[in-house]
């Protein structure tokens, strides 16, 4: 039986390097991120199941379920906003890395905090106006002009909730940046 050289052993061992996860500002943010991932996962599975059911129904029975297009649209909006919130958490949204990294460190830190503050302000305004839209639709009893006649406030509620998750993770990025002296 031959002995392996130390160099060979290290190359055969599984890599202990895992990509670093997002910097966390605490367990509350980790729990919220887990919740967002779970909601997005369920929405994605539902979207795939709906589309597959429509394909099978049309192909084998020449019949449309008539609800898939509407529900798929709602699910895509939710997936987009929940995915954007997770991208904010991982600091992989709205950044041109090669330009940002070329700046002096002090300027990068200041710009990062300015960017986070501005992002939170814009997100807050969007949350306010989409919440007003939801309330208006609810008070007026608006329904979608579709087969399901969905009360519009239900799918519209996805917008302020999704934006709220984006805002939560912007706050987390800000807390991490402040803890690290402006670095994100």
Q: Pick the range with the lowest mean pLDDT from 83-92, 142-151, 155-164.
A: 83-92
Q: Which residue from 14, 9, 5, 162 is spatially nearest to 77, judged by alpha carbons?
A: 162
Domain around 163:
26-179
- 3-state secondary structure string across the chain: CCCCCHHHHHHHCCCCCCCCCCCCCCHHHHHHHHHHHHHHHHHHHHHHHHHHHHHHHHHHHCCCCCCHHHHHHHHHHHHHHHHHHHHHHCCCCCCCHHHHHCCCHHHHHHHHHHHHHHHHHHHHHHHHHHHHHHHHHHHHCCECCCCCCCECHHHHCHHHHHHHHHHHHHHHHHHHHHHCCCCC
Mean pLDDT, residues 155-178 taken together: 94
pLDDT of residue 178: 87
Mean pLDDT, residues 166-178 taken together: 92
Within a domain: 147:
yes
Within a domain: 14:
no
Taking only the tens place, the pLDDT of each residue in 49-92 is: 999 999 999 999 999 899 999 999 999 999 999 999 999 988 88
Mean pLDDT, residues 140-164 taken together: 95
What does the block give as tokens for 103?
A: 């700046």
Within a domain: 15:
no
> Residue 136 above 70 pLDDT?
yes
Within a domain: 16:
no
CB 170 within 8 A of CB 120: yes
Taking only the tens place, the pLDDT of each residue in 104-130 is: 888 888 888 898 999 999 999 999 999
pLDDT of residue 84: 92
Within a domain: 54:
yes
Within a domain: 103:
yes
Distances (CA, A) of 87 to 52, 91, 170, 173: 28, 6, 10, 11
pLDDT of residue 177: 87
Distances (CA, A) of 100 to 21, 87, 89, 124, 169: 21, 18, 18, 25, 20
What gap in Å lies between CA 36 and CA 29, rounded to an integer?
10
**pTM exceeds cut of 0.85:** no
Within a domain: 17:
no
Structural domains of the chain, count: 1
CB 114 within 8 A of CB 170: no
Taking only the tens place, the pLDDT of each residue in 11-57 is: 444 444 445 566 777 889 999 999 999 999 999 999 999 999 999 99
Mean pLDDT, residues 135-160 taken together: 95
pLDDT of residue 134: 97
Within a domain: 1:
no
């Amino acid at each position: 039986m031959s002995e392996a050289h130390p160099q060979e052993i290290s190359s055969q061992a599984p890599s202990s390097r895992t990509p670093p996860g997002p910097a966390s500002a605490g367990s509350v943010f980790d729990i919220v991120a887990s919740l967002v991932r779970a909601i997005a996962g369920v929405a994605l599975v539902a979207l795939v199941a709906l589309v597959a059911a429509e394909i099978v129904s049309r192909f084998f029975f020449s019949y449309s379920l008539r609800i898939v297009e509407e529900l798929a649209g709602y699910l895509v909006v939710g997936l987009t906003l929940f995915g954007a919130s997770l991208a904010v958490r991982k600091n992989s949204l709205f950044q041109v890395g090669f330009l940002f990294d070329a700046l002096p460190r002090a300027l990068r830190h200041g710009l990062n905090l300015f960017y986070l503050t501005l992002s939170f302000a814009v997100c807050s305004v969007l949350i306010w106006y989409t919440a007003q839209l939801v309330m208006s639709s609810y008070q007026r009893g608006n329904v979608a002009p579709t087969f399901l006649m969905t009360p519009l406030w239900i799918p519209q509620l996805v917008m302020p909730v999704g934006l709220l998750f984006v805002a939560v993770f912007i706050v987390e990025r800000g807390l991490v940046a402040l803890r690290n002296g402006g670095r994100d």
